[in-house]
Amino acid sequence: MIAGVLLATVALWQWPWWREQIPDAVSASSPLLVGLLIGLGTVGGELPNSFLKRRLDIAPGTRRRSAGGSALALLDQGDLVLGIWVCLLPIWVMPVWLAAVAFVAIAAVHAVLNVVGYRLGARAAPV
């Protein structure tokens, strides 16, 4: 996963329009560093939630039908944003409002993709 994010970052960096859209502190950094930090954040953001689910004996691809289970499912959809936020701190402090918007957007897209994957038979459950 880290390698894919790193390669995508380096590829996007070649597109001037892309670099104009990102914060100055990020665009002033090396694309290799930015890609590595985002990749580490993506993986690292998934770990705490996955660890908690395993300690609660929740099998991969399943969730509990409770308020706590729903909260974990929501967190699972956007937890990578939190990891990326933390990993980018050495080069850029993402505003809280932007992290919240990114979390909601990523969680919504992730949820839609889960349903599509379920309808295509690639997932055992829609959530």
What global pTM score does this model have?
Answer: 0.84
- Please tell me the predicted confidence (pLDDT) of residue 69: 74
Q: Residue 126 domain-assigned? A: no
* 125 backbone φψ class: left, alpha, beta (φ>0; ψ -120 to 50): beta
How far is Cα 63 from Cα 53, in angstroms, rounded to an integer?
9
The range of the structural domain enclosing residue 58 comes to 2-119
Amino acid in the structure at residue 77: Q
Q: Residue 68 domain-assigned? A: yes
Q: Residue 105 domain-assigned? A: yes
Q: Residue 127 domain-assigned? A: no
Q: Residue 124 domain-assigned? A: no
- Please tell me the predicted confidence (pLDDT) of residue 109: 93
- Please tell me the predicted confidence (pLDDT) of residue 61: 67
Q: Provide Rg for the chain, Cα atoms.
A: 16
Q: Residue 103 domain-assigned? A: yes
Query: What tens-digit pLDDT sequence spans the chain (127 residues)?
Result: 899 999 999 999 999 999 999 999 999 999 999 999 999 999 999 898 888 888 888 777 677 777 877 777 788 888 999 999 999 999 999 999 999 999 999 999 988 998 899 899 888 777 7
- Count of the separate structural domains present in the chain: 1
Q: Residue 112 domain-assigned? A: yes
Q: Residue 45 domain-assigned? A: yes
